[in-house]
Structures are given as C-alpha cells and as structure tokens.
Amino acid sequence: METLSDAELSRQLRERAPDAHAFVFRQWVGVVRAASYRVLRSHDSVDDVVQRVFEELWRHPERYDPARGPLVQYLAMQGRSRSIDLLRSEISRTRRESADEVARDRSSAASDETGELSSWLDCLPTAEREAITLAYVGQLTYKEVALRLALPAGTVKSRIRKGLIRLRSEISNDEFGQSVTLSLDP
C-alpha cells in the first residue's frame, strides 16, 4: 500500500478496506508501543494497551477526525491515554486490596480483643459490667447510661470508675502472667 493521506486512510478505515487496518498497524504500532511504554514501563501491559488501541480503531474508525491532526498523533495519544487509564486502575485496585486487607486485620484483631474484653468483663459484678458495656461498647454518654439503667449519673460514674479500676488490675495481672483471683462481689 503506497503512502496515503490521513484523510484517505480514515475513509478506508471507515469503509473497512481490507488492507487499511493492517497498513495502519504496521506503520504505527511502534509509536503506540513507545507512547504506552513511557507511561507503564512494562512490556506485558504495553502489549495489552496496543491491542486495545488498534481494536478501538477497528471498531470505531469514525472517532478519528483527520481535520484535528495526523493519525499517528491520534494513535499515540490513544496509547498514552489507555496506559494512564490502566495505571490508574491498577493503583486503585491495589489500594482497594490493601484497604480490604487492613480491614480484615483490624476486624480479626478487634474480634480477638472483643473476646478478651468480654472475658475480662465477665469478672466484674453485674452492675459495673452493665454500666461499662453501655458506655464503652454501646458508646453511650454517662447521662444516657443513667437514663437507660434508671440510676443517678453519679452512681453510673462510680460504677464505671470502680469497674475500670478492677479491669485495669485484672489486665495488668494477666499481662504479667499472674493468676490472681479477685473477689468481685460487692
């Protein structure tokens, strides 16, 4: 195929002339590959981008407008744009996977901690355990806990304070490997 103008190539691509696509591919595959490689720096990904650019040209030749610039420039820009899209997609996927992994780790740690907290709370008298559970696990204020338990706010604060002191003692004894049994009955 002799050298054709971009307008003539565009016309032949739109008419699906048998040799037009093959000619364009042979002529400018290197340009698209280079534009893509400058962004991706990976030969495997570059090949995917090159394939997509030329498939798009085959499917939608009307998207190229020779009045806006040379076909080679259009193809290079398509290669660069598709490469940037692929790179952004990979970064986004990696971030999502990392966030999912962190969430799974946090969830696992939280369930471990919740299990430990639950066993420590079981050592407390019922009144202290209820107040602490509503305040910290239920995320209620002292006033909300007092309303829920139908108790004065001062009583709720005292129960929570006493319970936390007992928990601190229990946790520190547990951390040092001491088996200390506290009489927690009031």
Cβ neighbours around 78 below 10 Å, total: 22
pLDDT digits (tens, 9 = 90+) for 96-136: 888 878 777 666 655 555 566 677 788 888 898 888 888 88
- Interatomic CA distance for residues 63 and 184, integer angstroms: 79
Q: Can you give the residue range of the structural domain that contains 21? A: 6-94
This prediction has a pTM of: 0.55
Given a contact cutoff of 8 angstroms between Cβ atoms, the answer to whether 66 and 6 are in contact is yes
pLDDT digits (tens, 9 = 90+) for 126-152: 898 888 888 887 888 889 999 999 999
Instruction: Kindly state whether residue 153 falls inside one of the protein's structural domains.
Output: yes
- The residue among 45, 131, 38 whose CA lies nearest residue 77 is 38
pLDDT at 185 over 60: no
Query: Taking the alpha carbons of 85, 90, 91, 93 in that order, is the dihedral positive or negative?
Result: positive
pLDDT at 182: 43
Number of domains comprising the chain: 2
Task: List the CATH number of the domain containing 49.
Answer: 1.10.1740.10
Cβ neighbours around 28 below 10 Å, total: 22
